[in-house]
Amino acid sequence: MVEITGSWENTDHMLRCGAAGTLDIWENHEYYRLFTAMFLHFGLQHLGNNMLVLLFIGDCLERNLGKIRYGLVYILGGAGANLISVFQEIHTHVYVVSAGASGGVFAAIGGLLYIVIRNKGHIENFTSRQLFILAFLSLYHGMASKGVNNTAHLGGLILGFVLAFLLCPGGPRKKLSGDRKRYNKSCLFPGRSNK
């Protein structure tokens, strides 16, 4: 839809569609942009890269956290990463227009990293070493490229780890009962069914 109404590589058009602009968010109180920016992308390659990583990382994280907790890690991690980026831009007085799911994707990587570490360094086809390498290479690629919101990437990674820690039953919270207990088992023993 964004491409039909204009160009998804035009920053003014992307701002009109809901991309994250620090001054719009901070001064005009358009906080919805912290969320809407996650669903806009600057081009097909940008969208494709995010969706490809999310396909593998997100699928595994969803199976091990459950749909709701996975959704919370992704959405809160992505919006939180955008907010961290806003604070960084206010601090440095360098304002850019941001869009993309990368903050949420990095939150998913951080969340899965927590689950893998919690499960003694391995879950399904992922090891903690593989995820550390993926996170490092992704962050390095962002730092070596122009026009990449590295603050949102790093913020998403950290927030995803923290959110998974807080949301994963059996973690820092007391034992769960009833229907929520099944997620406790899947989080501790990922090979078991959620039934």
Residue 43, by phi and psi: left (phi above 0), alpha (psi -120 to 50) or beta?
A: left
3 state SS of 146: coil
- The token pair at 184 is 């406790």
Q: Is residue 102 annotated as a catalytic residue, yes or no?
A: yes
Tell me how far apart the alpha carbons of residues 158 and 127 are, in angstroms, rounded to a whole number.
18
Tell me how far apart the alpha carbons of residues 194 and 190 are, in angstroms, rounded to a whole number.
9
From 85, 98, 102, 128, active-site residue = 102
- Contact at 8 Å (CB) between 33 and 21? yes
* Catalytic site positions: 102, 153
